[in-house]
Protein backbone atom coordinates (compact mmCIF):
# COMPACT_ATOMS: atom_id res chain seq x y z
CA UNK A 1 0.00 0.00 0.00
CA UNK A 2 2.67 2.50 0.97
CA UNK A 3 4.63 1.77 -2.19
CA UNK A 4 1.63 2.57 -4.40
CA UNK A 5 1.01 5.85 -2.56
CA UNK A 6 4.67 6.79 -2.96
CA UNK A 7 4.43 5.96 -6.67
CA UNK A 8 1.34 8.13 -7.09
CA UNK A 9 2.94 11.00 -5.23
CA UNK A 10 6.11 10.69 -7.32
CA UNK A 11 4.08 10.83 -10.54
CA UNK A 12 2.17 13.86 -9.26
CA UNK A 13 5.45 15.56 -8.34
CA UNK A 14 6.77 14.98 -11.86
CA UNK A 15 3.60 16.45 -13.39
CA UNK A 16 3.84 19.42 -11.03
CA UNK A 17 7.47 20.02 -12.02
CA UNK A 18 6.54 19.86 -15.72
CA UNK A 19 3.73 22.33 -15.08
CA UNK A 20 6.13 24.73 -13.38
CA UNK A 21 8.62 24.40 -16.21
CA UNK A 22 5.94 25.15 -18.83
CA UNK A 23 4.67 28.32 -17.10
CA UNK A 24 7.19 30.65 -18.82
CA UNK A 25 6.05 29.41 -22.22
CA UNK A 26 2.49 30.45 -21.47
CA UNK A 27 3.50 33.69 -19.77
CA UNK A 28 5.78 34.93 -22.57
CA UNK A 29 4.88 38.41 -23.65
CA UNK A 30 4.65 39.44 -27.29
CA UNK A 31 7.02 42.11 -28.57
CA UNK A 32 5.33 45.38 -29.45
CA UNK A 33 4.96 46.08 -33.16
CA UNK A 34 5.35 49.84 -32.72
CA UNK A 35 8.14 51.54 -30.83
CA UNK A 36 5.75 54.36 -29.89
CA UNK A 37 3.55 52.50 -27.43
CA UNK A 38 1.23 54.58 -25.29
CA UNK A 39 1.20 54.45 -21.50
CA UNK A 40 -2.40 53.27 -21.51
CA UNK A 41 -1.68 50.19 -23.59
CA UNK A 42 1.33 49.45 -21.37
CA UNK A 43 -0.96 49.50 -18.33
CA UNK A 44 -3.40 47.18 -20.10
CA UNK A 45 -0.60 44.73 -20.86
CA UNK A 46 0.57 44.86 -17.25
CA UNK A 47 -3.00 44.20 -16.13
CA UNK A 48 -3.25 41.26 -18.54
CA UNK A 49 0.02 39.87 -17.24
CA UNK A 50 -1.25 40.08 -13.66
CA UNK A 51 -4.51 38.43 -14.68
CA UNK A 52 -2.63 35.59 -16.35
CA UNK A 53 -0.48 35.11 -13.26
CA UNK A 54 -3.56 35.05 -11.04
CA UNK A 55 -5.17 32.44 -13.25
CA UNK A 56 -2.07 30.25 -13.15
CA UNK A 57 -1.83 30.56 -9.36
CA UNK A 58 -5.52 29.78 -8.89
CA UNK A 59 -5.24 26.76 -11.18
CA UNK A 60 -2.20 25.53 -9.30
CA UNK A 61 -3.98 25.93 -5.96
CA UNK A 62 -7.03 24.00 -7.07
CA UNK A 63 -5.04 21.32 -8.89
CA UNK A 64 -2.69 20.67 -6.02
CA UNK A 65 -5.35 20.63 -3.31
CA UNK A 66 -7.78 18.53 -5.35
CA UNK A 67 -5.05 16.01 -6.10
CA UNK A 68 -3.98 15.83 -2.48
CA UNK A 69 -7.61 15.50 -1.40
CA UNK A 70 -8.27 12.70 -3.88
CA UNK A 71 -5.21 10.75 -2.73
CA UNK A 72 -6.19 11.27 0.91
CA UNK A 73 -9.75 10.14 0.24
CA UNK A 74 -8.44 6.99 -1.43
CA UNK A 75 -6.35 6.20 1.63
CA UNK A 76 -9.29 6.82 3.98
CA UNK A 77 -11.67 4.66 1.93
CA UNK A 78 -9.15 1.82 1.76
CA UNK A 79 -8.51 1.96 5.50
CA UNK A 80 -12.21 2.01 6.32
CA UNK A 81 -12.90 -0.92 3.99
CA UNK A 82 -10.07 -2.94 5.53
CA UNK A 83 -11.26 -2.21 9.06
CA UNK A 84 -14.89 -3.09 8.28
CA UNK A 85 -13.71 -6.35 6.70
CA UNK A 86 -11.70 -7.18 9.83
CA UNK A 87 -14.38 -6.17 12.34
CA UNK A 88 -17.86 -6.32 10.81
CA UNK A 89 -19.48 -5.80 14.21
CA UNK A 90 -17.92 -2.30 14.42
CA UNK A 91 -19.05 -1.29 10.93
CA UNK A 92 -21.41 1.41 12.18
CA UNK A 93 -18.77 3.22 14.20
CA UNK A 94 -16.17 2.88 11.45
CA UNK A 95 -18.61 4.12 8.82
CA UNK A 96 -19.58 7.22 10.81
CA UNK A 97 -15.94 8.11 11.49
CA UNK A 98 -15.15 7.44 7.83
CA UNK A 99 -17.90 9.80 6.63
CA UNK A 100 -16.81 12.50 9.08
CA UNK A 101 -13.23 12.24 7.79
CA UNK A 102 -14.39 12.56 4.18
CA UNK A 103 -16.40 15.64 5.09
CA UNK A 104 -13.34 17.30 6.62
CA UNK A 105 -11.20 16.48 3.58
CA UNK A 106 -13.84 17.85 1.22
CA UNK A 107 -14.16 20.98 3.35
CA UNK A 108 -10.44 21.65 2.94
CA UNK A 109 -10.84 21.34 -0.84
CA UNK A 110 -13.77 23.78 -0.81
CA UNK A 111 -11.69 26.24 1.22
CA UNK A 112 -8.99 26.02 -1.44
CA UNK A 113 -11.61 26.78 -4.10
CA UNK A 114 -12.71 29.85 -2.15
CA UNK A 115 -9.10 31.01 -1.81
CA UNK A 116 -8.56 30.54 -5.55
CA UNK A 117 -11.67 32.60 -6.30
CA UNK A 118 -10.42 35.32 -3.92
CA UNK A 119 -7.03 35.31 -5.65
CA UNK A 120 -8.66 35.86 -9.02
CA UNK A 121 -11.27 38.47 -8.12
CA UNK A 122 -10.09 40.29 -5.00
CA UNK A 123 -6.31 40.42 -4.95
Digits of tens for pLDDT over the chain (123 positions)?
A: 567 777 777 777 776 676 666 666 555 555 555 444 555 555 566 667 777 888 888 888 888 888 899 999 999 999 999 999 999 999 999 999 999 999 999 999 999 889 888 888 887
Q: Is residue 34 part of a domain?
A: no
Q: Is residue 119 part of a domain?
A: yes
Q: Is residue 101 part of a domain?
A: yes
The CATH number that applies at residue 118 is 1.20.20.10
Q: Is residue 114 part of a domain?
A: yes
How many structural domains does the chain have? Answer: 1
Task: Indicate the burial class of 13 (C-beta count within 10 angstroms; 0-12, 13-18, 19 or more).
Answer: exposed
Residues 112, 113, 116, 122, Cα dihedral to 10°: -110
Give the span between the Cα atoms of 123 and 91, in whole angstroms: 46
78: domain range?
68-123
Amino acid sequence: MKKSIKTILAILAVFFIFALISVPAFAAEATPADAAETAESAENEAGNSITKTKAIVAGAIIGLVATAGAVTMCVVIKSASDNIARQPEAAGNIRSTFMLGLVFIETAIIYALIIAILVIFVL
